[in-house]
Amino acid sequence: MQPELIADYACVVGENPLWHPVEQRLYWTDIDTKRLFWYEPETGMHQALNIGRKVGGFTIQADGALLLFMDRGTVQIWRAEGTGDRGQKGTGNREQGTEGKREEGREGIIIEEIPEERESRFNDVIADPAGRVFCGTMSTPAQQGSLYRLDTDGTITRVLEDIACSNGMGFSRDRRTMYYTDSERYAIYAFDYDAKTGALSNRRIFAQNPESEGLPDGMTVDAEGCLWSARWDGSCLVRYTPEGKEMQRVAFPVKKVSSIVFGGPDYEDIYVTTAGGDKKETDGAEAGSLYRLQMGIHGVPEFPSRIRL
């Protein structure tokens, strides 16, 4: 299976692809360059927007707004309004997209900052079936990362600490298990998940890989309950059975495969972000690109967040 190159914005840390079911667009970020992108499959158009701050992850609210998880622990509602020129139709080349004006889109701040995370940032996030958001933060020289739960009333609670590199998350099809990645421990964990309260318990290892195979990064779960994990410095996606057994690998022509999501009208399109656009000479000529796969495998919609101001 040959991945299809959709757009090459030379992302330094391309991350967090997420399908917007109302707009029928894919959104993704480049954390280090503070940009947010969209791609519209129906027209082939795509565009880059300058957010002005690092966005480590985001969810889509039930009303269609984006909920951005940023540096310093900031959580902000954002809408794509006044984005300037519409993106141009592209065939994978960076020059065929357009760079939007700086886009504030500021509608409401849920959390101005988390004091303990002033030197850190959010990294990967996911909405749960109730509309809460689990959101991880990066480690700094002074402290390890954490996993927080943002409840629908805007209350935030730390649920895990001593995390080396908080990363991809997903839910089993029966909604009884939550998967969680700690990249620098090369581990994907499984937790018992209580949908009524959002509580996590009974942590155990779902899958673990040797350092030589790269870091497990972003993830998603398909309609068969199989887990897909991107491999940073591993040049591939890995698909696991619901029991944690590796069943398939898809190779990419770049080193840093960072995250994955299903999208399209029937959730049959697999979108994959990559990183290393500032190091194309070592990470691959197409490093930092967005790719698409069409493998005849169905995904499921991600849950919307329902965080209130």
Give the helix ranges, DSSP H, for the chain.
280-283
pLDDT of residue 309: 84
Catalytic positions, please? 217
pLDDT, tens digit, 9 for 90 and up, residues 178-215: 999 999 999 999 999 999 999 999 999 999 999 999 99
Query: Letter for the amino acid at 143?
Result: Q
Mean pLDDT (whole number) for 14-24: 97
pLDDT of residue 149: 98
pLDDT of residue 80: 72
pLDDT of residue 105: 55
Mean pLDDT (whole number) for 159-185: 98
pLDDT of residue 22: 96
pLDDT, tens digit, 9 for 90 and up, residues 88-114: 455 454 434 444 444 445 579 999 999
pLDDT at 35 over 90: yes
pLDDT of residue 101: 44
pLDDT of residue 79: 87
What percent of the chain has a predicted confidence (pLDDT) above 90? 90
The three-state DSSP-derived secondary structure of 44-86 is CEEEEEECCCCEEEEEEECCCCEEEEEECCCEEEECCCCCCCC
- Segment 243-252 long-range contacts (CB within 8 Å, at least 24 positions apart): 244/188, 244/190, 244/206, 244/207, 246/207, 250/1, 250/3, 250/293, 250/295, 252/3, 252/291
User: Domains (ranges, CATH) in the chain?
Assistant: 4-293 (2.120.10.30)
Question: What is the Cα–Cα distance from 308 to 197, expressed in whole angstroms?
Answer: 17
pLDDT at 237 over 60: yes
pLDDT of residue 242: 97
pLDDT at 81 over 70: no
pLDDT at 9 over 60: yes
Question: What is the Cα–Cα distance from 64 to 29, expressed in whole angstroms?
Answer: 17
Query: Letter for the amino acid at 199?
Result: A
pLDDT of residue 256: 98
Residue 263 binned pLDDT confidence (cut-offs 50, 70, 90): very high
Return mean pLDDT, the chain.
93
**What DSSP designation does 283 have?**
H
Question: What is the Cα–Cα distance from 99 to 36, expressed in whole angstroms?
Answer: 10
Mean pLDDT (whole number) for 244-254: 98
Mean pLDDT (whole number) for 144-173: 98
